[in-house]
């Protein structure tokens, strides 16, 4: 059974900055409370404080956190170690970064139970297998023998849930557990999480920026902004009658609207032409075919000033296509032409101007930005390399780029670790724009962003297209987002192009069954959608 959680006047600071400001709330046993807000609102900071933990450079300055009769903030180090993973368990956003790649999955899942002494190793293994089955994982008896890289992202996220639940905790914190997953995988994970939370009657805290997901999971919603509570009410009340203007902004941002790019269709001027492209990884055979083939005979055309979306679930080949266009992966067959000229297959063979004209914005800003360089240094490098800027002109352009992506100029001196996830992604975008490209390859650029920041980035992309005539290849697993941004949509699965749909036909069918499946898998902003959803079995590649 779950525990009663009571938080009173919780205050968390970092130097002179207040991250969480005198926050008070309670969660009844067996209930799910969602913490909602944009990046930097204090969601994760609040959730971690429930375990008596503050991240490096932060400290819990005041307040009280009680779990049943335990005063968490008065516990010593050894008592906190006993609490964490036993009484309170944490499921992180990135399972891939949380597992040890050199140890088997089973070794890591049973570790909390053996460390806390709740189960013997044989009993823990039996319980782990039962949890694998409860979480609808394939091959529950055998999956534990694999290593983290041998399972999918959605499976790894559920395996992390098994690790958290093996000690039968009373409180579970789920910190953006489906943010990095494609929509069809997200459905599987949400269903598994909801079933387990309900059946075990644990008290849960669900941290998210996605109101549509929260609508399926939470009993109550606490809306945060700048570390301050804006609203706390039942999920039904927040969705139907939001009391605070900021909550209404979040709800509006959660419903993607079409962005007017000013692009006029019918142009015959192709900026990018991809013909018969195949690509993969590993050693090539005598015919030049890679050991692992990801893309198979892909063709598409992108006009100057146009945005073409590429959608598909994980493993469909979307990112591999972007990497081939960017020169990061040489195609094994086919041609890629840019502005009428054939592109060399690799970065090393391309001219400096070709490199400048095609820029890629990677999905994960955490791995794309050098952690040891300031934001100023990160933005200065492309400006110096492509434009030869220095001195006052360089500083002025850095300030303009930060303003362009809606970031304050005083962030320039910070390291990436001092920025929120949304801020880092906007730096990632600003760095690509520094080269003044003609084609921007956007690889899941809003998947890790909160709804407000994500909507702002989509608006910015539409604005750049209008003002600069920028062309976009927009990769995503979220069909609603792609429809809001793009003039045409290419549907991919298992490395093959299944269909291409023009904006005029978005609301006219019939479309390919897989396109319809992806459309239905995007969570709707209403209660009960998850229970009503009945996705068909995976369709075969046509």
**Rounded CA gap, 130 and 141, in Å?**
9
pLDDT tens-digit map of 332-373: 999 999 999 999 999 999 999 999 999 999 877 878 899 999
Q: Which two tokens stand for residue 337?
A: 């032409």
Q: Answer whether residue 367 is part of any domain.
A: yes
Residue 477 has pLDDT above 90, yes or no: no
Residue 65 has pLDDT above 90, yes or no: yes
The larger pLDDT score, comparing residue 213 to residue 287, is at: 213
Q: What is the mean predicted confidence (pLDDT) over 21-26?
A: 96
Share of the chain above pLDDT 70, in %: 96
Nearest to 290 by CA among 318, 309, 317: 317
Query: CA end-to-end span of the chain, whole Å?
Result: 48
The larger pLDDT score, comparing residue 283 to residue 113, is at: 113
Helices (H), 117-169: 121-134, 153-165
Claim to verify: residue 468 and residue 520 sit in the same structural domain: yes
CATH (domain of 447): 3.40.50.300
Cα 378–chain centre separation? 22
Q: What is the mean predicted confidence (pLDDT) over 109-114?
A: 96
Q: Answer whether residue 382 is part of any domain.
A: yes
Are 182 and 314 within 8 A, CB to CB?
yes
* Burial (CB count <10 Å: 0-12, 13-18, 19+), residue 21: middle
pLDDT tens-digit map of 84-111: 999 999 998 777 778 999 999 999 999 9
**Rounded CA gap, 484 and 495, in Å?**
24
Are 168 and 124 within 8 A, CB to CB?
no
pLDDT value for 154: 78
Band (pLDDT 50/70/90 cuts) for residue 404 is confident
Residue 180, CA distances (Å) to 19, 35, 166, 176, 531 in order: 25, 18, 24, 8, 22
> Do the strands 290-303 and 333-338 form a parallel or antiparallel pair, or are they unpaired?
unpaired
pLDDT value for 184: 80
Give residues with Cβ within 8 angstroms of 253, minimum separation 6.
451, 452, 454, 455
pLDDT value for 455: 79
Calculate the dihedral angle through the C-alpha atoms of 73, 76, 78, 82, rounding to the nearest 10 degrees.
Answer: -30
| Residue where a domain stops, chosen among 221, 253, 285 | 253
Claim to verify: residue 293 and residue 231 sit in the same structural domain: no
Q: Answer whether residue 5 is part of any domain.
A: no
Claim to verify: residue 290 and residue 159 sit in the same structural domain: no
Nearest to 296 by CA among 446, 96, 492: 492
Helices (H), 40-182: 43-49, 77-83, 95-98, 105-116, 121-134, 153-165
pLDDT value for 136: 83
Q: What is the mean predicted confidence (pLDDT) over 322-330?
A: 93
Q: Answer whether residue 539 is part of any domain.
A: no
Claim to verify: residue 244 and residue 286 sit in the same structural domain: no
Q: Answer whether residue 215 is part of any domain.
A: yes
Claim to verify: residue 149 and residue 203 sit in the same structural domain: yes
**Rounded CA gap, 491 and 497, in Å?**
6
Residue 498 has pLDDT above 70, yes or no: yes
**Rounded CA gap, 379 and 397, in Å?**
9
Most confident of 62-71, 140-149, 287-296: 62-71
Residue 251, SS3? helix
Q: What is the mean predicted confidence (pLDDT) over 244-249?
A: 92
Claim to verify: residue 242 and residue 298 sit in the same structural domain: no
pLDDT tens-digit map of 6-16: 999 999 999 99
Are 311 and 493 within 8 A, CB to CB?
no
Q: Angle formed by the axes of helices 153-165 and 105-116, to 10°?
A: 20
pLDDT value for 264: 54
| Residue where a domain stops, chosen among 192, 227, 253 | 253
Average pLDDT, the chain: 89
Q: Answer whether residue 390 is part of any domain.
A: yes
Residue 537 has pLDDT above 60, yes or no: no
Claim to verify: residue 219 and residue 366 sit in the same structural domain: no
Share of the chain above pLDDT 90, in %: 59
Q: Which two tokens stand for residue 386?
A: 């492509």
| Residue where a domain stops, chosen among 253, 283, 315 | 253
Claim to verify: residue 222 and residue 330 sit in the same structural domain: no
Neighbour order of strands in the sheet with 496-502: 358-361, 439-443, 471-476, 307-311, 488-493, 496-502
Q: Answer whether residue 77 is part of any domain.
A: no
Q: Considering only 111-115, 235-239, 253-257, 261-265, which range has the smallest mean pLDDT?
A: 261-265
Residue 232 has pLDDT above 90, yes or no: yes
The helix/strand count (H/E) of the chain reads as 20, 20
pLDDT tens-digit map of 214-231: 999 999 999 999 999 999
Claim to verify: residue 181 and residue 211 sit in the same structural domain: yes
Band (pLDDT 50/70/90 cuts) for residue 405 is confident
Domain count, the chain: 2
Check residue 93 and report its DSSP letter: S
Are 445 and 453 within 8 A, CB to CB?
no
b (16+ CB within 10 A) / e for 56-65: eebebeebeb
pLDDT value for 113: 95
Residue 422 has pLDDT above 90, yes or no: no
Q: Answer whether residue 338 is part of any domain.
A: yes
Residue 541 has pLDDT above 50, yes or no: no
List the beta bridge partners of residue 12.
20, 60
> Do the strands 70-71 and 59-67 form a parallel or antiparallel pair, or are they unpaired?
antiparallel
**What is the residue range of 463's domain?**
270-524
pLDDT value for 267: 53
Claim to verify: residue 299 and residue 205 sit in the same structural domain: no
The larger pLDDT score, comparing residue 522 to residue 422, is at: 522
pLDDT tens-digit map of 118-175: 999 999 999 999 999 988 888 999 999 999 888 877 788 889 999 999 999 999 999 9
pLDDT value for 257: 65
Claim to verify: residue 155 and residue 285 sit in the same structural domain: no
For CA atoms 98, 101, 106, 108, the dihedral sign is negative
* Burial (CB count <10 Å: 0-12, 13-18, 19+), residue 433: buried
Phi, psi (rounded to 5 degrees) for 230: -100, -35
Claim to verify: residue 328 and residue 400 sit in the same structural domain: yes
């Amino acid at each position: 059974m779950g525990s009663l959680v009571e938080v009173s006047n919780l205050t968390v600071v970092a130097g002179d900055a207040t991250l969480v400001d005198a926050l008070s709330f309670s969660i009844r046993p067996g209930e799910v409370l969602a913490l909602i807000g944009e990046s930097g609102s204090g969601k994760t900071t609040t959730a971690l404080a429930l375990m008596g933990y503050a991240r490096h450079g932060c400290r819990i300055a005041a307040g009280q956190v009680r779990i049943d009769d335990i005063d968490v903030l008065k516990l010593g180090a050894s008592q906190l170690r006993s609490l964490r993973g036993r009484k309170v368990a944490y499921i992180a956003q990135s399972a891939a970064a949380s597992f040890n790649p050199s140890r088997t999955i089973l070794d890591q899942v049973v570790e909390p139970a053996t460390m806390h002494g709740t189960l013997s190793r044989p009993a823990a293994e039996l319980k782990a297998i039962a949890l694998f089955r409860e979480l609808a994982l394939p091959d529950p008896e055998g999956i534990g023998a694999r290593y983290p890289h041998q399972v999918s992202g959605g499976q790894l996220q559920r395996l992390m849930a098994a690790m958290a639940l093996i000690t039968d905790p009373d409180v579970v914190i789920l910190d953006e557990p489906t943010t990095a997953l494609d929509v069809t995988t997200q459905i599987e994970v949400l269903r598994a999480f909801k079933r387990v939370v309900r059946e075990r009657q644990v008290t849960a805290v669900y941290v998210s920026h996605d109101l549509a997901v929260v609508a399926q999971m939470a009993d109550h919603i606490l809306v945060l902004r700048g570390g301050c509570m804006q609203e706390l009410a039942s999920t039904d009340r927040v969705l139907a009658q939001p009391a605070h203007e900021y909550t209404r902004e979040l709800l509006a941002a959660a419903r993607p609207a079409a962005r007017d790019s000013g692009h006029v269709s019918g142009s015959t001027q192709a900026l990018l032409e991809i013909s018969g492209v195949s690509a993969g990884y590993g050693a090539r055979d005598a015919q030049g075919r890679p050991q692992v083939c990801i893309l198979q005979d892909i063709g598409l055309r992108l006009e100057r000033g146009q945005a073409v979306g590429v959608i598909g679930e994980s493993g469909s080949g979307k990112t591999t296509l972007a990497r081939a266009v960017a020169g990061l992966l040489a195609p094994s067959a086919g041609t890629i032409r840019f502005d009428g000229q054939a592109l060399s297959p690799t970065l090393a063979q391309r001219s400096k101007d070709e490199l400048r004209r095609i820029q890629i914005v990677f999905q994960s800003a955490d791995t794309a930005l050098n952690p040891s360089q300031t934001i100023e240094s990160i933005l200065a490098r492309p400006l110096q390399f492509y434009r030869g800027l220095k001195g006052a002109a360089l500083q002025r352009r850095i300030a303009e780029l930060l303003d362009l992506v809606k970031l304050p100029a005083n962030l320039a001196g910070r390291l990436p670790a001092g920025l929120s996830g949304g801020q880092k992604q906007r730096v990632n975008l600003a760095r690509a724009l520094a080269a003044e490209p003609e084609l921007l390859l956007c690889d899941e650029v809003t998947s890790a962003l909160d709804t407000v920041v994500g909507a702002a980035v989509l608006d910015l992309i539409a604005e750049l297209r209008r003002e600069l005539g920028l062309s976009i290849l927009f990769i995503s697993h979220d069909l609603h987002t792609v429809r809001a941004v793009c003039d045409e949509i290419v549907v991919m699965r298992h490395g093959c192009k299944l269909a291409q749909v023009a904006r005029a036909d978005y609301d006219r069918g019939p479309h390919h069954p897989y396109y319809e499946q992806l459309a239905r898998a995007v969570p709707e902003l209403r209660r009960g959608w998850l229970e009503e959803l009945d996705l068909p079995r995976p369709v075969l590649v046509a």
